[in-house]
Amino acid sequence: MSPPAPADPNTMDRPPSGTGRPPIHTVLPPLILGTATFNTQYVASPLTMPSTAIITQALALGLHAFDTSPYYGPSELLLGAALSSLSPPPPRSSLFLITKCGRLTPTQFDYTPPHIRYSILRSLKRLHTPYLDLVYTHDAEFLSAREVLTAVRELRRLRDEEHLLRYVGISGFPPLRLAELAELVLAETGEPLDAVLSYGHFTVQNCGLVSGGALERLKGAGVGVVLNASVLGMGLLTSRGIPADREDGTSPLAGWHPSPPGLRTVCKGLAGMAEKAGERLEGVAIRWAMEEWAREGAGTGVDVMVPGEALPRRVGGTVCGVSSVAELDETVKEWREVMAGLGPVAPEGALERREKVGRLVRDEFWPALGEWKDYAWASPEDGFVNQRKPEEMGTVPDDGIVSAHELRIQLNG
């Protein structure tokens, strides 16, 4: 993984605008650090986790793209504080900052233009940045197609008129719904989405992003890049696993994770299989998903360019979250081995490692999963109703964020 390109002091605080934006696959790194783990859903006390140490180590290892969301509790605040605390802070142009908008709580969404604009301004303040590189509508499957289209149009307006962001995408769980929305955006606006973030659908347990036909439809809708996130199934594919009992207080994941008890139990059994093979489930799951998606994505037209290489090479892009420096080091080690193994000359041991992981997943994990192979829970669940009241739609807090932005616009003419 190559270090970020040197900053241009004349452009470091301004995003490229209009048609001057390069294609997203040429500027989006192939490995992105997700910070959904900076949240009480994953850890008991995110404010005491080593977020600054994780971000510092990520930059030292060559990662300079970060994915967050206001829905992830204190994640944006922790990421922004970590980046701004570094001395000196990394040049803005050396970073690729990604966030989301529209999801307020597990049961409330607001995709109206006033709230989308407020959310972007709040993210800018939290992340201490004058612009965002990529913004997704968060969990777009929960809203009607018309609401998603309205939000995308507003994000593009903020891109083109106020220059607050560079690229626009959507994120969500069911790949076919994401494909349907991407097709709608193209048909209604004549402009394809820059990016689609799919999570939990290209893992050792669930390959629905590819097997269900969604990837071909996303390509057909002209999507710039498709990113694969939650390769550990939001904690499902870990040695610790998720307790089958939702009332189990030993894990922050037990109560909110949408997986059914049977899936949790069978995935917990995969950890023992990995251990017998001299592996950790996390290592196998990360390695398999990153390597197979890198290969699956290569040359599909929804992949990303590998930076710093003499000969152009493209791979499928991955978002990985961690909650410790050790987990980060393990993830980057696996990624580097993946990239080396996919090179023109694989280093000694790379092919053997690929074969070992592949055999373990194919010959042991998949048979053990049985009916749970490629299982995906409903998102949203049947009967879901947005709990954001009609009279609350488009309302924003009177916290000075919007007024401060308006004042800046007036002062700058």
Residue 253, number of CB atoms within 10 A of its CB: 22
Phi, psi of 217 (to 5 degrees): -70, -40
Q: Cβ(349)–Cβ(357) under 8 Å?
A: no
Closest CA to 193 of 175, 165, 170, 213: 170
Q: Which two tokens stand for residue 407?
A: 């004042």
Phi, psi of 278 (to 5 degrees): 75, 25
Q: State how far the Cα of 30 lies from the Cα of 230, in Å rounded to an integer.
A: 15
Q: State how far the Cα of 343 lies from the Cα of 178, in Å rounded to an integer.
A: 31
CA 101, distance to chain mean position in Å, is: 13
Dihedral of the CA atoms 394, 399, 403, 409 (nearest 10)?
Answer: -100
Q: Where are the beta strands (DSSP E) in 56-203?
A: 65-67, 96-101, 103-105, 108-109, 132-137, 165-172, 195-199
The residues pairing with 136 across neighbouring beta strands, listed in sequence order, are 100, 169
Q: Cβ(398)–Cβ(122) under 8 Å?
A: no
Phi, psi of 395 (to 5 degrees): -85, 145
Residue 156, number of CB atoms within 10 A of its CB: 17
Q: Which two tokens stand for residue 318?
A: 């991955």
Residue carrying structure tokens 């004042």: 407
Active site residue 72: yes
Q: Is 166 helix (H, G, I), strand (E, B) or coil?
A: strand
> Which of these is catalytic: 42, 71, 72, 199?
72
The catalytic residues are 72
